Amino acid sequence: MREINIGLLGCGTVGTGVAKILIENRELIRSRVGTPLVLKRVADIDLNKERGISFDEGVFTSDAQKVVDDPEIDIIIEMIGGNGISKDLILRAIKNGKQVVTANKALIAGQGNALFKAAADKGVDLAYEASVGGCIPIIKTLRESLVGNHIKSMTGILNGTCNYILSKITDDGSTFEEALSEAQARGYAEADPTLDVEGFDTAHKLAIIMSLAYGMEINLKDIYIEGISKISPMDIEFAGQFGYRIKLLVISKNKGDRVEARVHPTMIPFDNLLSNVNGTLNAITISGDAVGDILLYGHGAGMLPTASAVISDTVDIARNILTGTHGRIPLLSYQMENIKKIPVMPVDEISTHYYFRFSAADRPGVLSKVSGILGNHDISIKSVHQKGRKSNGSVPIVMLTHIAKEANVQKALTKIVCLDVMCDRPVLIRIEDEDGQDLI
């Protein structure tokens, strides 16, 4: 059998991992695929960085375009990331008839519809398993293992940085700022952590898997996004007292003609497996009409775990090349002509359980005023806890609600915030609980 030649664009952390696996596990991969996967060319602007790999002469280059144009290359692995030159290089590779593997979630979430169309028109594959959940086979599971299922909902932890920070606040009582510094010191968070902690990276991933699950065009802009930067140790402590942990979740529910799609800090009960997913780990629960709930768990980032998913895609494509096929599995799980524009439900229209924490003056009648406003907005209180006075004289009042409508909640909070007894903005955290929900 012929060899499969690979061109790698970008040799940063994950790119280096891909090169390492291709070189160190070359014999293993050959024994499974039946032919060697040869790392023919590697392009990176940094020629001098120590990567712990000795490439053969002539493999390393600073000219990515030369790799994309090399007629001997079968598969291009794009590991540059971001929205810059990576898109042009991928499009050029597609134009040259090459198969492409990428882990670039920002690019797929933002411009996937156009990229997939270009690939389908040219009849090449564009694989992206590593763009969601690192090594966890989420995309393969959605496109292949659950192919007979209507997907009902997905709930997951898909950002290791946020999960590390929340775990750190929960376990050590750190503030958000302390936990973030620690994450940065360990290399789990970027110098500018906005993309992670404000939930944008998580939303990129949700946009991709929603499309695969429901057969809809990729739609990033309508996802409701709320990050974790306002989560305080106090709310995590109260959550614990009620039997919940706070996680930054992706939540998506199939409502037939519309879908729910949101990323926000969420309280989930201790006995939900997701609440035991800590540190930088990721996990997702997918609910299908035949399978019920399945959960997939593993490292959502890191050099070798992410590279493992890239290799999985690369081998899938190599097997297509060796058997003379392409387009075996539709790029977005559904046949192009069956992909619809399914509207995302405005967050105002969702219904869920809520946690509120009000900081109120310690005066008679406060509770009655607050609960009166909630009652007037059809929000039924499940439990109330008024805790000891804080140093500034205010009292935290914590409430958990039954299922309520988000629009009503927002209206009620707008009124509550105007009460003269309120000392601070109220805290709202949504709860995913078992009654009436699809969680495990």
Active site residues: 205
33 is a contact residue toward its own copies (CB under 8 A): yes
Candidates 122, 150, 382, 402; binder of its own copies (CB under 8 A) is: 150
Number of residues that bind its own copies (CB under 8 A): 66
Q: Which stretch binds its own copies (CB under 8 A): 200-208, 285-293, 385-393, 403-411?
A: 285-293
307 is a contact residue toward its own copies (CB under 8 A): yes
CB atoms within 10 A of CB 138: 29
CA distance 321 to 36: 13
CA distance 131 to 157: 14
Between 74 and 316, name the residue whose CB sits nearer to its own copies: 316
CB atoms within 10 A of CB 378: 12
Task: Give the H or E element holding residue 297.
Answer: strand 292-299
Smallest distance from its own copies to CB 50, Å = 21
Between 315 and 419, name the residue whose CB sits nearer to its own copies: 315
Q: Which stretch binds its own copies (CB under 8 A): 28-36, 196-204, 226-234, 261-269?
A: 28-36
Between 64 and 311, name the residue whose CB sits nearer to its own copies: 311
215 is a contact residue toward its own copies (CB under 8 A): yes
304 is a contact residue toward its own copies (CB under 8 A): yes
CA distance 127 to 233: 40
Q: Are 385 and 395 in contact (CB under 8 A)?
A: no
309 is a contact residue toward its own copies (CB under 8 A): yes
Candidates 112, 137, 199, 227; binder of its own copies (CB under 8 A) is: 137
What sign has the CA pseudo-torsion 432, 435, 436, 440? positive
Beta strands 259-269 and 244-254: pairing type?
antiparallel
Smallest distance from its own copies to CB 259, Å = 16
Q: Which stretch binds its own copies (CB under 8 A): 196-204, 284-292, 388-396, 415-423?
A: 284-292
Residue 180 class from Cβ within 10 Å (0-12 exposed, 13-18 middle, 19+ buried)?
buried
Candidates 83, 117, 123, 147; binder of its own copies (CB under 8 A) is: 147
Beta strands in 333-408 (DSSP E): 351-361, 381-386, 394-401, 404-405
CA distance 79 to 233: 37
Between 298 and 372, name the residue whose CB sits nearer to its own copies: 298
Compute the CA torsion angle 297, 288, 252, 155 (nearest 10 deg).
-20
β-partners of residue 386 are 397
Contacts with its own copies, 227-266, as mask; x by CB under 8 A: ----------------------------------------
Between 43 and 331, name the residue whose CB sits nearer to its own copies: 331
CA distance 301 to 139: 15
Candidates 59, 225, 329, 367; binder of its own copies (CB under 8 A) is: 329
346 is a contact residue toward its own copies (CB under 8 A): no
Candidates 58, 71, 148, 187; binder of its own copies (CB under 8 A) is: 148
What phi-psi label fits residue 243: left (phi over 0), alpha (psi between -120 and 50 degrees) or beta?
Answer: left
Q: Are 282 and 134 in contact (CB under 8 A)?
A: yes
Q: Which residues bind its own copies (CB under 8 A)?
A: 17, 21-22, 25, 28-29, 31-34, 129, 135-137, 140-141, 144-150, 215, 271, 273, 276-277, 283, 288-299, 302, 304-305, 307-309, 311-312, 315-316, 319-320, 322-330, 333-335, 338
